[in-house]
Amino acid sequence: MSRRNRQNDLLKVMKLNEERSKELSSQFAALKREQAEELATGEQFFRDAPDGIAVSGGDGAEACAMDSKWPRRRLQERSWDDLLEEANQRFGKETAIGFEDLLTQEELQDACDRWRTIDREFALKTGLRWKEFGFLTVAIALQCVRQYVIDPWLRKKRPSATSNDEKGHKDDPEPGWYYVDTGKILTNRVPFDAQKYGENQTIQGFLEGGDHRLMTLGHDPVLGWVFGTMNIMTGTLTRRDFASAHVKHTAAGNVIHSRARTERIVQEVVRRVSKDGLDGKLALGCALLREGIHLKSDVGTKRSLPLPGIGAVSPEAGKMLAKYGIDTASVGTEVSLAMLVNCLIAMMHRWTFDGPPDEQSLKFHEVRTRKILLYSNLIASSSNILVTIFTKNAKLLDVGGLLVTIVRLFSDVRFMCKIRDEYVRGKIDGRFEGIRREVDELYEKTFS
């Protein structure tokens, strides 16, 4: 049963109890009126009776008669299933019952006022103190220094655009198709770095349309771990549109030789890993290691690697982003440094905790810590966007910082809402617990 159905069943039973209480109240009111009428009739009879006439029944016969007319009955406890069945019979099984069906307008307004009071209490307990505005100022300043000083400096310090991964690797002629010997995987150059073409006319211009790092999936920071690894094991390269080609290691270097079938590449890799025993698994491990080495060598160059998936979606967009310095290295550096600043500020703020060491106080301090980080990230990212727009310099755009801010926006707000809900629920549960104890005491005194 879903949570919504359980809540509707609970409200339906509460509505049943409310209506039964009203019915009992009406019955008691009718009984009270009847007793008052009988009492008035009796008093009038005594006033109208002649002097000297004896009136019988003064020994409590009327009270006995009333007891026989309205016999006392002990309350019978009923199970939840019985109450729910009766509620479904009265209101209908598919009928939805809301809180507005149980409460009057005054009661709803009182509940809203009480909730707002509790919410204000939570805001006061988790609001930033004066000393914490200092942490906020320092956090904003550090993020701005990172954006406009450290990130550009690190971008300029990158080595040349040429990867040093191919130094020391050789081009061993490979006789087979869809297969590279395990012993040559780590020593050969990666096939998706090939830019020369063989004599086959059908393969000419295979990588035209963009830089080879954008055009080959082996250079993608994410997809490369799949396609690049398979390319290394099979001596092939796979283009951004998933078309593939054979790469031959010749004395003149790697050349794009002829067309290959991508599905055949996948089949051969799966067959090799599953059928060739230890050698197949060792080949896979060597290919993964070779892919990692090559990506590591390329990511630190001035051209770096394209953003994950951008080559497969649009090489033109990848070229435009690379023109403004938005690539895997720059975004990764911005994300890392933004998270480092957040981590330092969070650690320093947690050291200032001076409240009682109970769980609720620690959670309130954690909420204030997250507010400092969230506000500082939002202010720094917003100012960065404005600076980028006004200066018309896209190279100043802090993409990594924006990603960190977006992630924090979701995670921190979700955490704050969770703590607030716990606080409000605790206050309401405490109030209802007191009411429940009073009802239990009254029940014991009345019916025990």
The pair phi, psi for residue 251, each rounded to 5°, is: -65, -25
The pair phi, psi for residue 2, each rounded to 5°, is: -75, 165
Q: What is the DSSP letter of 74?
A: -
Tokens 């080495």: give the residue. Answer: 293
Q: How many residues does the chain have?
A: 448
Show the beta-strand stretches assigned E in 122-205: 196-197
Instruction: Give me the residue spans of the domains in the chain.
Output: 1-39+77-100, 124-152+326-439, 182-303
Over the chain (448 residues), what is each successive 10-residue block's mean pLDDT?
Answer: 70 79 83 84 74 52 49 62 81 76 76 86 90 93 93 78 51 66 89 86 81 88 94 92 87 84 94 93 95 88 82 78 80 92 94 86 93 95 94 90 94 93 82 67 65
pLDDT computed for residue 4 by the predictor: 67
Q: Mapping DSSP to helix (H, G, I), strand (E, B) and coil, where does residue 309 land? A: coil
Tokens linked to 388? 């980028």
pLDDT computed for residue 401 by the predictor: 93
Angle at 160 between CA 155 and CA 164, to 5 degrees: 120
Residue environment code for 8-31, b if the CB has 16+ CB neighbours within 10 A, otherwise e: bbebbbbbbeeeeeeeeeeeeeee
Tokens linked to 287? 């290919």
Tokens linked to 2? 């879903």
207-248 pLDDT tens trace: 886 678 888 999 999 999 999 999 999 999 999 889 999 998
pLDDT computed for residue 173 by the predictor: 45
pLDDT computed for residue 363 by the predictor: 92
Q: Give the number of other CB atoms < 10 A from CB of residue 179.
A: 15
pLDDT computed for residue 52 by the predictor: 56
* Sign of the CA dihedral running 275, 277, 283, 284: positive
Distance of CA 134 to CAs 94, 138, 378, Å? Answer: 56, 6, 16
Q: Give the number of other CB atoms < 10 A from CB of residue 329.
A: 21
pTM, rounded to two decimals: 0.66
Distance of CA 242 to CAs 211, 249, 333, 337, Å? Answer: 16, 22, 30, 35
Q: Are strands 196-197 and 236-238 parallel, antiparallel or unpaired?
A: unpaired
Q: What is the DSSP code string of 380-411? A: HHHHHHHHHHHHT-GGG--HHHHHHHHHHHHH
pLDDT computed for residue 358 by the predictor: 86
322 and 219 Cβ atoms separated by less than 8 Å: no
287 and 233 Cβ atoms separated by less than 8 Å: yes
Q: What is the DSSP code string of 353-383? A: --S-SSHHHHHHHHHHHHHHHHHHHHHHHHH
Alpha helices (H) along 49-79 = 61-69
Q: Largest alpha-carbon pair distance within the chain?
A: 144
Tell me how far apart the alpha carbons of residues 408 and 415 are, in angstroms, rounded to a whole number. Answer: 10
Q: What is the DSSP letter of 414?
A: H
Show the beta-strand stretches assigned E in 241-374: 244-250, 253-260
pLDDT computed for residue 64 by the predictor: 47
Tell me how far apart the alpha carbons of residues 304 and 213 are, in angstroms, rounded to a whole number. Answer: 9
Tell me how far apart the alpha carbons of residues 57 and 291 are, in angstroms, rounded to a whole number. Answer: 109
pLDDT computed for residue 246 by the predictor: 92
Residue environment code for 120-132, b if the CB has 16+ CB neighbours within 10 A, otherwise e: eebeebbeeeeeb
Q: 91-95: which pairs have CB atoms within 8 A and are 24 or more residues apart? A: 91/12, 91/15, 91/16, 95/12
* Sign of the CA dihedral running 188, 191, 192, 196: positive
